[in-house]
Amino acid sequence: MSDKKRDQLVVSRSYRKSNELINAMGKGTALSQKLFAIGMQNMKVDDTNNVVATIYGSELRKMFKSTSGSLYEHIEALCDRQVKGQTIFDWNLLMKDKEKGKIEAHQVVTDASFKDGTLTLRYNNSLTDKIINLQKNYTVLSLSDTLSLKSVYSLRLYEMLKSAYDYKAYVTKETGEQAFDYNLTELKLELGIITSGGVKEIKNELEKELPDYDKIEALADKNDLNKYKEYKIFNRNVLSKAKAELNKKTSLEVDYEPIKNGRKTAGIRFFVNQKEGSVPKEKLSVINKDEILDELIDLLHDDFKIKEIREIAETAEYDLEKVRKSYNYMLSYDKTIDVPIAFIKDCIKNEYYAQKAKPMYSKKNTFNNFEQNHDNFEDLEKILLDN
């Protein structure tokens, strides 16, 4: 096999990324995102509960498009602010937990080392469960798509729009073009164009369940924390360029239009479609457990309590279709079900609705389960009489 074909095999892989990381506000560099994507192929958790990614020289050369010479200068630029300015340590996240009423700020990469041509990155241990061993609430991303993008804004939009598209397709079971609306200031926060910059008033506003984004933008402008204040500049330098790059290099087809409030642009409406033949084989993941739970409550509330519906959701790993099929199987069952919660959970686990497994309770009369006796009764009677 040629080196070129082998390289194509490497970058054709996909990786999972937590939706909490994808949709968190904050800033980062394109290189930090690409290193994360490559590092996902070889990650482990050390004895301090930090995720450690090992990235070998051959993979680094592919990323840097360097076929010869030392990798040292590339790595130095990644790690030393005095050399390049922004580094991989500038990947910071602002994560909101509305249920618990808290907001957390994290530096994602805490340590880096480069030795014998291998780069080792250590990630913040507060994020371990959001990086590795993901079972739900993640998006499947293409490594080749990620590595092809140059702009950090294109990378962020690729992740955000892919996550939103996959979730909507999962819930609605519909493919084709989908529309997604973003408040303009909220979008800038997620892209890292506006940051809190340590300003207490901005952080306090972000902690609210319904932040006043006009107030946040005014505070960001006042403290020089808004990189593109005018929409026309934001549109020209960010949105237009990202759209062109995403359409040319990724599996997504993207268009957008401004959402107006009078003469002012208040938001952006993205139109997103998946290019034909580019849907990943891996099953789409559940993205927002609360939204899935709301749908399950609507579906099951006649027969189950809220607590039981949560149990059912957990058993099905928030797979809506699996719950629907199991519930329909239960409703069509022709015998009395004494404990419905046990019945539907067992059905989910064993997928009886698929008719590939033996049903929980046989519908046949018990007597019919015995093999029929084919002896000649006249001969048997004669033997008994002779005795």
Q: What is the pLDDT of residues 302-361, one digit of tens each?
A: 899 999 998 998 888 888 888 988 998 889 888 888 899 999 998 998 888 876 444 444
At residue 67, the pLDDT reads 65
In angstroms, how far is the first alpha carbon of the chain from the final one? 83
- Buried b vs exposed e over 266-275: b needs ≥16 C-beta within 10 Å? bbbebebebe
What secondary structure, in 3-state letters, does 125-148 show? HHHHHHCCCCCCCEEEEEHHHHHH
Q: Is residue 341 part of a domain?
A: yes
At residue 83, the pLDDT reads 61
Count of residues making up the chain? 387
Q: Is residue 192 part of a domain?
A: no
Last residue of a domain, one of 93, 118, 137: 137
What would the mean pLDDT of 84-106 be, rounded to a whole number?
72
Of 146, 182, 155, give the one whose Cα is nearest residue 241: 155
Residue showing tokens 């002896």: 375
255-268, pLDDT tens digit by residue? 999 999 888 999 99
Q: Is residue 270 part of a domain?
A: no
What would the mean pLDDT of 31-52 be, rounded to a whole number?
88
At residue 82, the pLDDT reads 67
Mean pLDDT of the chain: 80
Q: Is residue 81 part of a domain?
A: yes
Last residue of a domain, one of 137, 165, 196: 137
Q: Is residue 254 part of a domain?
A: no
At residue 96, the pLDDT reads 66
DSSP type of residue 237: I
Query: Could you tell me the pLDDT band of residue 375, with boundaries at 50, 70 and 90?
Result: very low
DSSP type of residue 17: E
Task: Supply the CATH number for residue 93's domain.
Answer: 1.10.10.10
User: Which residues are within 8 A (CB) of 44 and not within 5 positions of it... i.e. 6 or more apart?
Assistant: 51, 52, 54, 132
Percent of the chain at pLDDT > 70 equals 81
What would the mean pLDDT of 73-102 be, rounded to a whole number?
73
125-156, pLDDT tens digit by residue? 989 988 887 877 888 888 889 888 999 999 99
Q: Is residue 99 part of a domain?
A: yes
Q: How far apart are CA 73 and CA 71, in angstroms?
A: 6
Find how far residue 181's CA is from the centre of its chain.
Answer: 19
Of 336, 284, 332, 305, give the one whose Cα is nearest residue 138: 284
Query: Could you tell me the pLDDT band of residue 284, with boundaries at 50, 70 and 90?
Result: very low
Residue showing tokens 């593109």: 228
- Buried b vs exposed e over 314-327: b needs ≥16 C-beta within 10 Å? ebbebbbebbbbbb
Asked if residues 21 and 127 have their Cβ atoms less than 8 Å apart, the reply is yes
Q: How far apart are CA 86 and CA 78, in angstroms?
A: 8
Q: How far is CA 304 from CA 22, 331, 342, in A?
A: 34, 13, 11
273 forms beta bridges with: 253
Q: How far is CA 145 from CA 159, 277, 355, in A?
A: 10, 14, 39
What would the mean pLDDT of 3-16 be, rounded to a whole number?
53
**Strands 118-123 and 138-142, how do they pair?**
unpaired
Residue showing tokens 């980062």: 28
At residue 259, the pLDDT reads 94
Q: How far apart are CA 154 and CA 250, in angstroms?
A: 10
Q: How far is CA 63 from CA 6, 58, 202, 294, in A?
A: 15, 9, 36, 42
SS3 8: helix
Find how far residue 65's CA is from the centre of its chain.
Answer: 28
Last residue of a domain, one of 114, 137, 160: 137
Q: Is residue 187 part of a domain?
A: no
At residue 208, the pLDDT reads 80
Domain hosting residue 98, numbered range:
1-137
Q: Is residue 231 part of a domain?
A: no
Number of domains in the chain: 2
